[in-house]
Amino acid sequence: MRPRILIVEDDVALRNAVQATLERGGYEVSVAGDGAAGSRALAGGAFDVVLLDIGLPFVDGWRVLGELEPGRLPSVIVISARGEERDKVRALDLGADDYLAKPFGADELLARIRAVLRRANPAAVPSPAIRIGDVVIDLSRRSVTKGEREVRLSPTEYGLLSELARHAGTVVDHQTLLRDVWGPSHVHERNYLWTFVQRLRQKLEDDPRDPRVVVSAGSRGYRLGGPATEP
């Protein structure tokens, strides 16, 4: 089945160009010309990736992003003419997986889409489940539980957690995490890493201010708890 992509963009020329690029790339594409139409499309259909402009008429992209249901998100790439750091951080905080500033090239767009799709559907690699306190990460089943409760993670949140889980008990440096989760073009995007670590801590830690699951190793990187054990 071809991945389904929703483009929410009011610039007709750009929307048509992006649609043509994606369809040539083998994707199934739907479009919406404003935020209200984008929200209706998201409520009525299942998409793998959403390309979401921020400066939309009627309902802006911030509101569309904020209304997506946590834990059931498609992969969201924000596309915006505003490339300021604060906008990028705000988009990540609201649940976006990536941020692409206009203007952008077709090759870069396709690479970003391939990256978020890989994070959403990683290759199955048999692995024992890993327990850190009451958190269990089962890489084979792609499931995460805390106590008796299933923890719902976005594709990128799970991608980061699984990367740490594969090296449980050892420090993974910042650049390695950024490269392996987001791709080589993101190795200096520390704000991505910080934002997603905070999101994981909110979902996994008893006290996010005193993390025991996703632990900072200062300037070196992050590690997942202590030595890995089978539950």
- Distance (Å, rounded) from C-alpha 206 to C-alpha 204? 7
List pLDDT tens digits, range 66-83. Answer: 888 655 567 899 998 876
Q: What is the pLDDT of residue 71?
A: 54
Residue 77 vs residues 96, 172, 221: alpha-carbon distances, Å: 6, 25, 25
Range 1-20 average pLDDT: 92
Q: What is the pLDDT of residue 124?
A: 45
Nearest to 17 by CA among 83, 97, 102, 116: 102
Percent helix, strand, coil in the chain, to 5, is 40, 20, 40
Return mean pLDDT, the chain.
86
Residue 169 vs residues 136, 172, 181, 212: alpha-carbon distances, Å: 14, 9, 19, 11
List pLDDT tens digits, range 131-176. Answer: 888 999 988 788 899 998 999 998 889 989 988 988 877 889 999 9
In the block, residue with structure tokens 């520390």: 190
Query: Strands 214-216, 221-224: parallel, antiparallel or unpaired by DSSP?
Result: antiparallel
Enumerate domains of the chain plus CATH numbers. 4-120 (3.40.50.2300), 130-224 (1.10.10.10)
Of 123 and 95, the structure prediction assigns the larger pLDDT to 95
| Predicted confidence (pLDDT) at residue 85 exceeds the cutoff of 90 | no
Of 60 and 203, the structure prediction assigns the larger pLDDT to 203
Q: What is the pLDDT of residue 228?
A: 40
- Judged on CB neighbours under 10 Å (0-12, 13-18, 19+), 63 is middle
Q: What is the pLDDT of residue 128?
A: 64
DSSP reduced 3-state for 157: helix
**pTM summary value:** 0.66
pLDDT band at residue 212 under the 50/70/90 scheme: very high
Q: What is the pLDDT of residue 118?
A: 80
pLDDT band at residue 207 under the 50/70/90 scheme: very high
**Structure tokens belonging to residue 9:** 């963009």
Q: Which helix (H) or strand (E) holds 42?
A: helix 35-44
DSSP class of 4: E
List pLDDT tens digits, range 100-132. Answer: 988 888 888 988 898 888 877 765 444 567 888
Q: What is the pLDDT of residue 227?
A: 43
